[in-house]
Chain A
Amino acid sequence: MTERELQIIGRDFPRKDAVARVTGKERYTVDISLPRMLHGRILSSPYAHANILSIDTSMAEAMGVTVITFADVPQKRYNERIITIPPVLHKDHTVLADKVRRMGEAIAAVAAETEELAERAVRAIKVEYEVLPALVDAQEAMKPDAPAIYDTVMFGETEIAIKNNIACTRDIDEGDYETALAQADVTVEGSFKLEKIYHAQMETKSCVCRPEPDGGLTVWPTTQSIHNVRILLGEIFDIPLSKVNVHRVPIGGTFGSSIQMNAPIPICAALALKSGRPVKLTLTREEDAHDHTRYGGTIDIKLAAKSDGTLLGADMKVVADIGVHNIQAYSFLGVSIGWLVSLYKIPNIRYRGTAVYTNKALSCAMQGFGNPQVTFAAESLMDELADKLNIDPIDLRMKNYIGLGDTFWGQGPQVKSVVLSDGVPELMRKGAELIGWSKRITTEARRLTKSNSDRVRRGIGVGRGFHTSSAGAPQPGDVIDFSGAMVKLNIDGSVDVITALMDHGGGTLEALAKIVGEELGVPFDLVNMAPAETCSTVYDCVTHATRGVYAGGGAAYKAAHSLRKEIIETAAKFLNVYPDALDLKLDDEKGQGVVYCRSIPEKQMTLKEIATRCWSESWKTIAAVESYRPTNCPPAYVTVFVEVEVDTWTGVVTTKNVAMGSDCGTVMNPAMAIGQLEGGLSKGAGYALFETNGWDAEGQLLSRGSWMDMKVAGIGEMPSNDGLHMHFADSYEPTGPFGAKGIGEAAMNPVAAAYANAITNAIGIRFYELPITPERILKALEKGGERS
């Protein structure tokens, strides 16, 4: 696309769902109530690893409820995330478990007239367990004598053995690392440890399922992809997709937690099918906290560079703790090195990745899919390298970063992409200016000055990062990535946009309304984002990978563009003018789109006149449907500068100033885009400073799922408004709809790195493990003897 003057995009309008959301009128899954609906509850395992010797459901069934166990559900194994193509998909999950592999594993489920009865019935089920040693540490799980969590899993249609609890491995070599190392003047290395933290999305996982008289299912789930839920339910329960209809329901945040088909969905479906009644199943917060986490594990990186700072090579080793299910471990191992080699030009790499099963909550994508983890490690090492070579950290980054014209493979080696828009220089320059980088004392200088004896020490750190907008690529690969949309013109000149795309709350659908409105000259208010269900929408893979606006919006743009052509061609007939002589724009005075002839101004028709005439002459509805495969996945860059104060008496870190800049191409929704950055900052601060998620030796989640022990960042951790400086690069992505790229995950990716670097700058000590808690800071200061 080439740039054109924008009439709608980039302006702030009240969100279409704002009134419903803030007045409590929005209907989330948990708010749905159907006639004759039953309430479901899950029997959760009290052990992390156990064989199930027997289940006695007779007492529960005597209460007049529906009970299901492993014996009542389809026993075929599936992967709850079907973004990987079928032949290379690992499948280890069943609707209910035949063996306990994590604390809270669903062993049985009940549907009853009331939630209370369901709860009592669940407690009446007697299960005999043979408890097995729990594996909570990935290194322990790989030992030869460790008990097997799975004997076999499915790989495509083949059953494969699992050895040493290793779900998969992935080695990637490019260039010649050993030679690069030999030629290097300097190396830096670190072994980084990352927590398997909980997504802490506002809405817990939930589902309502209604069995239909024709044997079909109608489903209202919490999900990021209604079509993938439909395909999976069809497969698991052997129902034609034409009889499975999944509704899009507003969702209370996800951060990636509903990227796969959520575990309660097929359980709810099985209860509905067995009872013949609609069933609602909603996880409690405690159950939800036991269900999913971010990928944790260790990342070892060694960077080799020349004395002028040019990076020559990287040696990287990742051990990913994937918990109880292999959702997308092979992809995860691919992107882990992908994030590094797409952040900086590193011609020679040696990479060894291992994904390990443990008896813990499953690891799934969480805002960044490995990117915040790798960026924390990479940006920590870049600062260390800058220190070692006495180069300014910004200069070192600018020397090596991947920018305009460079090819990269952020989403794994199959997903090659070329950088066509690059706001990094602007983001760095402006961020440095806003934070006062020129006055920053270098970490080395600080170590030597008397400010090092101050009780409260200030430090400034930078972290830069990116996320790919979609996983698009020129060729098909292992990962499915395409979207679709339908647009139709109503007789009053308004339009309906029908897309399965999910909006997690960030304003994705608002952006789509603007894209369609802009292309068709239809005011924002007259663009309807229609309710969506799988039977009346074309396929959209899933809202993930920061692809909503770029790829979902790309599909909407493509459909709107087709519609625009048809509108002009139709008007051309009515006006007796060649289509090429016509143009379309939003006429502010008329309050609607107008097709007009550039050289004969009186030859014009409004969209309403065109559509009404099509209707009254019984001709047609002007409508278009398109699928769209992005062939690029441009990096949405984010640069974060953080200024912190570290209190050396208590170890408490206070955020004083943040300058956060985004290159998301054209900014669709300015206020919401700032909200995305602030949200990324908040989640990143929590990841950096205090979010933990521990399991004891028996595999029990230490927090038991209580908010009191699951610390996520609240508003109190944010700097004051005066200390928040959000900015956007003047950037235009030629492959994006109206020049747009993504923003969401990018906003989180470099935040922890920036915090770590700021803390190091303040106290001269580097941390290789997140979170950097007050306790760890005090301990490090004590060891370093640097407490005032």
Chain B
Amino acid sequence: MTVPAFNYLKPDSLAEALDMLATEPGAYPIAGGTNLMVDVRAGKLSPETMIDVGDLDELRGIVVKDSQMTIGGAVTIAELLRHEIIRQRVPVLFAAGKTFANTLIRNRATVGGNLVNAAPCSDTAPALLVLDAEVSLSSSSGTRWIPLTEFLVGAFQTQRRADELLMEVRFPIPPASSRGGFEKMGLRKISCMAKVDVAVMADFDERGACKDARIALGAVAPIPLRAEKAEASLVGTAFIARAPEKPVRCGEQVQDKTIEEAARLAGEAASPRSGSEYKRQVVYGLTRRILTAMATGIRDGEAS
């Protein structure tokens, strides 16, 4: 099937873009087009009008201010990965970006687009969820900020109104005392959709006790889930302080009941809604892998 004809509008300013969205009912904002154009070609979408917001300055920046990071909606995944502070201070998002599709798609796909598309297997959503991210939505009548948890409503459903543009995503930069990780399970190692994503962020006091833990599971439910029981089981424990002195070799296990229990609870959180025993097992495995890596500083399989 070839791509059916549609009107293509390219606003020069944000104001013009918002005005177009207000006056063109049914128009789709488009940036990278890595989801939209595929759907249009497959006949799942037949928009009359597309408004290209990919080059708007207001959507293109990554700003760090007062230990808060703000990422423009049209920032590409590749740009995210090139950002030094994200690489060093926000490993959970960096790791999610690294697993995202493939180089070609990362060069075009945008953070805002990935969130607005709201696919259950979005890789950025679970990572941003454990960072307590909020998103801003603008229309010609104003701007509102809402937590990502509220923004995502269901599979391919969000709080965005048709006349609104996702402007920015912001979150507090995790403190130096925190650790996190992200693991994706797909059929292939490159260029695949997640069968399961697990994102973890946790903060620790000076004795190594866990003060706060967040675990999000992607691709197991219409929207990413928080594994709350698993999170609660970690709080107050010192699972990272009990790290063995020598690096864990491939194949060896970190015999830590806390990690195992948290992984088990995370797996249980995945199970009822995904309806798949397999996904429960993988969530268990990935969570255990991330927590083990957080405890040892070494990802499994890398030590050998």
* A457, A706, A773: the one within 8 Å of B42 (CB): A706
For B185, B191, B253, B281, which residue has the most chain A Cβ atoms within 10 angstroms?
B281
Q: Provide the A31-46 mask, 1 if CB < 8 A to any CB of B, else 0.
A: 0000000000100000
Contact at B188–A716, with CB atoms within 8 Å? yes
- Report chain A residues within 8 Å CB of B187: 690, 711, 773-774
What is the minimal beta-carbon distance from B293 to any residue of chain A, in angstroms?
13
Partner of A774, one of B1, B252, B282, B289: B282
Stretch with Cβ within 8 A of B (4 or more), from A542-550, A560-568, A648-656: A648-656
Q: CA A455 – CA B185 in complex, angstroms?
A: 16
CB closest residue in chain A, given B279: A775
Closest to A287 in B: B1
- In the complex, 17 of the A-B residue pairs with CB atoms within 8 angstroms, ordered by the A residue number, are A119-B2, A284-B2, A286-B1, A455-B253, A645-B301, A649-B284, A651-B281, A651-B282, A652-B185, A690-B187, A704-B42, A706-B42, A711-B187, A711-B192, A714-B188, A775-B278, A787-B281
CB distance A778 to B189 under 8 Å?
Answer: no
Cβ contact within 8 Å between B282 and A650: yes
CA distance A645 to B278 in the complex (A): 19
B83 to chain A, nearest CB (A): 23
A289 to chain B minimum Cβ distance, whole angstroms, is: 12
- In the complex, whether B193 has a CB less than 8 A from a CB of chain A is yes
- Closest chain A residue, CB of each to CB of B101: A708
Query: Is A779's beta carbon under 8 Å from chain B?
Result: yes
Contacts of B1 in A (CB 8 A): 119, 284, 286
Q: Which chain B residues have a beta carbon within 8 Å of chain A's beta carbons?
A: 1-2, 4-5, 38, 42, 102, 185, 187-193, 250-253, 277-278, 281-282, 284-286, 288-289, 300-301
* Contact B286–A649 (Cβ < 8 Å): yes
Given contacts A651-B281, A714-B191, 10 further A-B contacts (CB under 8 A): A41-B2, A454-B253, A455-B300, A456-B300, A456-B301, A457-B251, A645-B250, A649-B288, A708-B38, A713-B188
Contact B250 A650 (CB under 8 A): no
* Bound Cα distance from A265 to B294, whole angstroms: 58
A786 within 8 A of B: no
User: Nearest Cβ distance between residue B45 and chain A, in whole angstroms?
Assistant: 14
A716 contacts B2, C-beta separation under 8 Å: no
Task: Point out the residue from B185, B189, B253, B289 that lies within 8 Å of A788, measured CB to CB.
Answer: B253
Residues in A with CB closer than 8 Å to B278 are 775, 778-779
Contact in complex: B188, A649 (CB < 8 Å):
no
B282 x A456 contact (CB < 8 A) = no
Which residues from B are CB-within-8-Å of A647?
A: 285, 301
Q: How many Å from the CB of B267 to the closest CB on chain A?
A: 10
**Residue on A nearest B282 in the bound complex, by CB:** A650
List the count of A-B residue pairs having beta carbons below 8 Å apart: 83
Contact partner of A778 (CB less than 8 A), chosen from B5, B42, B282, B289, is: B282
Q: Smallest distance from the beta carbon of A744 to chain B beta carbons, Å?
A: 24
Partner of A456 from the list B190, B251, B286 (CB cut-off 8 Å) is B251
- Set of chain B residues within 8 Å of A115, measured between Cβ atoms: 2
- Is residue A387 within 8 Å, beta carbon to beta carbon, of the partner chain? no
For the complex, what is the distance from the CA of A717 to the CA of B282, rounded to whole Å?
19
A residues 78-124 in Cβ contact with B at 8 Å: 115-116, 119
Bound complex: CA A592 to CA B48 (Å): 66
Give CA–CA (A202, B278) in the complex, Å.
Answer: 33
User: Once bound together, how far apart are the Cα atoms of A357 and B137, in whole Å?
Assistant: 55
Q: Cα distance A219–B252 when bound, in Å? A: 62
Chain A residue with the shortest CB-CB distance to B251: A454
Is there contact, CB below 8 Å, between B253 and A116? no
Q: Is B281 a contact of A716 with CB atoms below 8 Å?
A: no
Contact of B193 among A116, A708, A716, A774 (CB under 8 A): A708
A785–chain B nearest beta-carbon distance, Å: 13
The 3 A-B residue pairs with the shortest CB-CB distance, nearest first, are A649-B285, A716-B190, A716-B189
Residues of B within 8 A of A649 (CB): 281-282, 284-286, 288-289
Contact residues in A for B300 (Cβ distance below 8 Å): 455-456
CB distance from B280 to the nearest CB of A (A): 10
The CA of A651 and the CA of B186, in the complex, are separated in Å by 11
Give the nearest-CB partner of B285 in chain A. Answer: A649
- Residues from 707 to 727 in A contacting B, C-beta threshold 8 Å: 708, 711, 713-717
Q: A683-712: contact bitstring with B at CB < 8 Å (1 yes, 0 no)?
A: 000000010000000000000101010010
CB atoms of A717 and B189 under 8 A apart:
yes
**Given A119-B1, A119-B2, A455-B253, A650-B42 contact (CB < 8 Å):** no
Bound complex: CA of A413 vs CA of B282, how far in Å?
Answer: 48
B188 with A116: CB separation less than 8 A: no
A782 CB-CB contact with B under 8 Å: yes
Beta-carbon contacts under 8 Å, A736-788 to B: 773-775, 778-779, 782, 787-788
* Contact between chains at A650 and B285 (CB < 8 Å): yes
A773 and B195 CA atoms in complex are apart in Å by 12
Q: How far is B282's CA from A787's CA once the two chains are assembled, in angstroms?
A: 12
A772 to chain B, nearest CB (A): 12
Quick one: closest B residue to A778, CB to CB?
B281
Q: Do A654 and B301 have beta carbons less than 8 Å apart?
A: yes
Measured CA separation A422–B192 after assembly (Å): 41
Closest residue on chain A to residue B288 by CB atoms: A649
Contact in complex: B284, A716 (CB < 8 Å)? no
Query: What residues of A have a CB within 8 angstroms of the CB of B253 in the complex?
Result: 454-455, 788
